[in-house]
Structure 1
């Protein structure tokens, strides 16, 4: 887009939201300022409640908010940051170009966003200012030439967790791990990372299986571990990646690596929109079904959602 342009990026404490914005910014290649916000106890209320008052009543603190340098573009992500972006847009006479990632439910004045990007599997109609893309924007940058002591081949398992009425059970984890361990046949290493949505029962089971099977070399739980997350390292050194289909962000990250990605999903723990998402990725050769584990993949496509969104922002901004 050019370094003469300047962006304000509104970041909250949600890791997924932050990574989506940073992924798009990395592809836009412009100067930007991070506006850090933290929520208060009102943040669980719907967006229209905030808008009845002043758009920012749910904000506990906001850092680095001064008008200089003023933004050409404001980028936000997630429901709660939407009203903040709309409020910031109002304070400038020239009205900066306002981009929002993820459809902001229960929000008035959505048409004041110049662009809203939402996943293809969401039941939202595409309009002039609403664009749908396959996958979530990602900020994955693989690390080259990493030295490690893991026995090759390295398989990396990404485990999601519960969402709404859908629960990822111990039974499903047993099935996944049994299949991977059988495929490795005591040759190689299995690394596992869970998510903050993984239940305590799931974490306990995975820890037990690590003590039972030597081929499970490392387990990382973001809910409980105080060590640095080896997520990027593991994506970089893995020969194959297995991911549960309930986590759209993890699946999207894996599909940015140009490595064989096997998605384990079913209706027991995945909603219809998650299942549709996984099937579309498999149909378009960004990923493969779990039952192909270990098979050679002749054609692997890279999702590149951040790059595609950045290109669309550039074209839309240029034509304003």
Structure 2
């Protein structure tokens, strides 16, 4: 008997990192599903052991996980690998397992693996996306436009969303970069919608907040409801630091002109991502000047969702309508 979309269950499993979790939720939402969110941590000794050893047991996970197992499991991040393999085994391979990001083990351990083009993994059950899946859709932006109307519509046009990250394993934010950005933003005759992240060093966050204020600026630093979707909805332009693949992918999914602020550092994967976005016509370096252009928006969550539908239809005869 076929299951309809309304009767299929879905879990999203990560260790709780926001960027990874949003990638997984974006794919689930593209399937038209409301997933159960599982933020799983590994207990010792599994926490210290490689997740690639295949030594999973029910006691390895915190919190513990129990059946009934989901029809679809969408997971991301290194710590989720053990959960995916465990549930696949315990469900007698009835759970369709989707792993986002390169798991660094044989893709055949999962039903489907989705990686961005800047990751080198390829295989029979590997789908390659342009960048990373996310939750940005036209429908969500329309809702956010109405939701944050009172907050953001008073800002003068053109409106610019300024998305500021910070330090990471690959990038470092310098004082010179922050000072230059402040001067460039002050010179723009535009409404500014500015947000910082947990990775923005505290001293730079304070400097940005102290330097960028006024009737034409809305600065969100974590207090109150997050207006991030509203920023993207109201933006005529997006300026983002180049330290987050998720943030750049979300910005490029809007189809709006994307300018990158270069932070110190980088990696081969990030360089490949930048090249793809530039070649696609989505991103340019920010030099203090705003120009209007168009490009085809990214649509990676939908691409992964369609791949899941095709494979589940073949395997389970599950009815997940397009």
Q: TM-score, normalised by structure 1?
A: 0.84
The equivalences for 1:141-160 within 5 A come to 141-142=140-141, 143-145=144-146, 146-148=149-151, 149-160=154-165
Q: Say whether 1:317 aligns with 2:299.
A: no
Decide whether the 8 Å contact of 2:75 with 2:81 is kept in 1: yes
Decide whether the 8 Å contact of 1:103 with 1:117 is kept in 2: yes
Match of 1:83?
82
Per-residue deviation, 1:215 = 6.4
The equivalences for 1:99-110 within 5 A come to 99-105=98-104, 110=107
CA distance, structure 2, for counterparts of residue 56 and residue 285 of structure 1? 49
The equivalences for 1:226-265 within 5 A come to 226-265=223-262
Match of 1:128?
124
Structure 2, unmatched stretches of 5+, are 316-322
Decide whether the 8 Å contact of 1:119 with 1:136 is kept in 2: yes
Which of residues 3, 16, 20 is equivalent to 1:17? 20
The equivalences for 1:79-228 within 5 A come to 79-105=78-104, 110-122=107-119, 124-140=120-136, 141-142=140-141, 143-145=144-146, 146-148=149-151, 149-164=154-169, 166-184=171-189, 188-210=190-212, 214=214, 217-221=217-221, 225-228=222-225
Helix, strand or coil for the counterpart of 2:75? strand
- Which one is further off, 232-241 or 70-79? 70-79
Q: How many equivalent residue pairs?
A: 303
Q: What value does the CA root-mean-square deviation take over the aligned residues?
A: 2.7
**Structure 1 residues 306 and 295: alpha-carbon distance in aligned structure 2, compared to 1, 3 A threshold:** same
**Structure 1 residues 181 and 96: alpha-carbon distance in aligned structure 2, compared to 1, 3 A threshold:** same
Q: TM-score, normalised by structure 2?
A: 0.83
Q: Greater relative contact order (Cα 8 A, min sep 6): structure 1 or 2?
A: 2
CA distance, structure 2, for counterparts of residue 97 and residue 240 of structure 1? 39
Per-residue deviation, 1:258 = 2.2
Helix, strand or coil for the counterpart of 2:260? strand
The equivalences for 1:47-58 within 5 A come to 47-48=50-51, 51-52=54-55, 54=57, 57=60
Match of 2:320?
none
CA distance, structure 1, for counterparts of residue 289 and residue 50 of structure 2? 43
Q: Say whether 1:308 aligns with 2:307.
A: no
CA distance, structure 2, for counterparts of residue 174 and residue 42 of structure 1? 46
Per-residue deviation, 1:242 = 0.3
The equivalences for 1:278-317 within 5 A come to 278-291=274-287, 293-297=289-293, 299-317=294-312
Decide whether the 8 Å contact of 1:243 with 1:261 is kept in 2: yes
Decide whether the 8 Å contact of 2:51 with 2:78 is kept in 1: no
Any idea what the Cα deviations from partners look like across 1:195-219, whole Å, max 9, x if unmatched?
1111223213212322xx5366232
CA distance, structure 2, for counterparts of residue 195 and residue 236 of structure 1? 19
